[in-house]
Structure 1
């Protein structure tokens, strides 16, 4: 049985990220939200594209106005008005100025901008009431970015700010990694779909819905394969199909040591390399991780809470790395104050689900109310964090610090 840390390292070492040549697709900029950039972006444009004004005011020659003050204003002739989007037509000469607006292109000859609050205009004359700093309120060409350098690196998630940069660089399409394909199925004779009548002894299969939702939240493409009965032949057929059509397989159930748990033996018959069958954690101990040449296989526990906990802990970073994210695959771990008393038998790394609250600027973890059985899906609703008690830790008192995985 592997420790959680060793299991995570084993999994991540087995992940081969998508290829930025073979696994790339081009999408319109407005559909690129939350996609992962496949190749670096280099622009042929400088930012700003030209010298421009950072303020409404007057474009001047610093040499003309450096002695200006309220009781001794400098008077300049206004020879042009320059709104944003207009190309100046006049070169500013000694004794001249141009009315200019924020973002407008600086005229030749001018090197500084006087904010309008420090001026007084009368017809075609402007009174400069205070001296600026040299180059004040001028944004120079290439100040923010020089053409030919890397504008955005590969392996980042495209959010609003990155998409704004791409639009400014006139990239209406962008190369992103394709979405990882994840096949999902549940195993067990006792399982039925939500729309089916529930008979005594049967269980509604909630795992497919939870796992599919999580995979989509992580940017994956879902291939739902349904419920597979506890039959080695049927399992072999469905796993063989998944190998040919997916990057990752998530199956739930059938990985414990029961008489009808056939997942591991089926994987072996198909030539999988099984890296481990159990992890020293609760919930989630019966977890199989196996690999084929081009596929990662997670045999998740059948208990619904255990299935989700193992996905949050292991599948989530796996998908991020596989999808081409350059860094930040690992979950977000925080040390926070516990509002609740947390208990463990100390034999397993224990995950307790609940909620993080921000109280007076300090995060606090509150355990979900009710029974914390790994079969109790009900109190998992609205969970946004898992408190983690390491092996050997049996008790966390209220107000004591605890490590949490933020979801």
Structure 2
């Protein structure tokens, strides 16, 4: 670990959420290996190099409108300008068009501006016939012309390393001439859930058994183009079995994510087992609700995150802490959770001490346009159905005991 933590060194200390995030990020080093892919295969992957434009954008002077290219020096005093049409220029043409002095060229959006023509009159401002046009407003030189390089000059930066290549990024890479790009290799992630009580959704439940919601939640959260996922399913609370699965996962993965078994109960084996296989561990008590116990550690180059077993706790802990560690491990740039301001629809009473991430539902908006939030149940760490009902998380500061109706607070929308 970055600070040489043992598994029990901080067990009696409560970290703030920001401290926990920074401690996790301190050991989440990006993968080093890259590969070069055709752009169409790189969509959704993580860019591994800074990219600059290989061409001027646009590459040539072109028309911003459908209309008529003119030479402003051909125009008389007006007030009516009546000119013959001397030719036609479409997108994809070479631009080496000429026309007699005193005539115009029919031109279309994206078509190159021929030499000596210095303005475009859009067709809506003209009257005329197939071979003649008339207009009354004198154009200025440069009107409705997109100049070469006005968007970007060749060599200008377009994207930074660490961005996920989505629609906008793919568009700018293509338009700037990048047919192949360097991306980080896929992050190898293994997941499993601990607990002898866990069953799959189609199985019959026996006494004391529950369905494994955390597995499917993680499958959805980790369904990303830059992840190569191995799903080990549920693992019973058998220390020998857990130890073997954990060691194998650490030897074959960049990142291991588990749910359950990270607290201080007799069946919470994961901190001890991770230490026994040679890993360096840190069990953190974080001053957050839900999700107080969370564990992370390292085994060689593998990064381990142990989430709470309660599904809402696991979801919130992953969203606030775990996902940031994974993103950095994959080579993504650090980005904060997107938040907005919202207004409470009812007063809040709570016990101060932990920063709370309360599931909320949006019930309209205020006259000022802020979302109006209805708080869901105060006790919710195991109530996974609330996640499906919620529209996001209200962020309640740790020191807060009471907030009145109408109070403005931070809100993370799902």
Counterpart selection for 1:334 from 325, 330, 340: 340
Counterpart selection for 2:215 from 208, 217, 220: 208
| Secondary structure, aligned partner of 1:277 | strand
CA distance in 1, matches of 2:333, 2:303: 19
CA distance in 1, matches of 2:43, 2:303: 26
Structure 1 match to 2:272: 265
Q: How does 1:144-293 map to 2 (within 5 A)?
A: 144-216=151-223, 220-293=227-300
Q: Does residue 1:78 correspond to 2:78, yes or no?
A: no
CA RMSD after TM alignment? 2.4
| Secondary structure, aligned partner of 1:352 | strand
Cα distance change on mapping 1:251 and 1:138 into 2, 3 Å = same
CA distance in 2, matches of 1:68, 1:262: 89
Check whether the contact 1:45–1:146 (CA below 8 A) recurs between aligned residues: yes
Structure 1 match to 2:74: 64
Structure 2 match to 1:12: 25
Counterpart selection for 1:34 from 44, 61, 71: 44
Q: Which has the higher mean CA deviation after the structures are superposed, 274-283 or 113-122? A: 113-122
Structure 2 match to 1:320: 327
1:172-226: per-residue Cα shift (whole Å, max 9, x none)?
A: 4443333322211111222222233211112222111111211225953321112
Q: Which has the higher mean CA deviation after the structures are superposed, 123-132 or 103-112? A: 123-132
| Secondary structure, aligned partner of 2:293 | coil
- CA drift of 1:263 comes to 0.7
Q: How does 1:374-389 map to 2 (within 5 A)?
A: 374-389=381-396
Structure 1 match to 2:371: 363
- CA drift of 1:240 comes to 0.9
1:130-172: per-residue Cα shift (whole Å, max 9, x none)?
A: 2111111111222212223323332222222222223334544
CA distance in 1, matches of 2:406, 2:412: 18
Structure 2 match to 1:143: 150
CA distance in 2, matches of 1:94, 1:310: 73
CA distance in 2, matches of 1:93, 1:44: 37
Mind listing any 5+ residue stretches in structure 1 that lack a counterpart? none
Q: Does residue 1:346 correspond to 2:346, yes or no?
A: no
Check whether the contact 1:255–1:286 (CA below 8 A) recurs between aligned residues: yes
Cα distance change on mapping 1:91 and 1:293 into 2, 3 Å = same
Q: How does 1:299-310 map to 2 (within 5 A)?
A: 299-310=306-317
Mind listing any 5+ residue stretches in structure 2 that lack a counterpart? 1-12
* Greater relative contact order structure (CA < 8 Å, 6+ sep): 2
Check whether the contact 2:53–2:155 (CA below 8 A) recurs between aligned residues: yes
| Secondary structure, aligned partner of 1:314 | helix
Equivalent residues, number: 399
- TM-score normalised to structure 1 length: 0.89
CA distance in 2, matches of 1:248, 1:188: 20
- CA drift of 1:93 comes to 5.7
CA distance in 2, matches of 1:89, 1:125: 22
CA distance in 1, matches of 2:402, 2:260: 30
Q: Which has the higher mean CA deviation after the structures are superposed, 249-258 or 80-89? A: 80-89
Check whether the contact 1:354–1:380 (CA below 8 A) recurs between aligned residues: no
Cα distance change on mapping 1:170 and 1:324 into 2, 3 Å = same
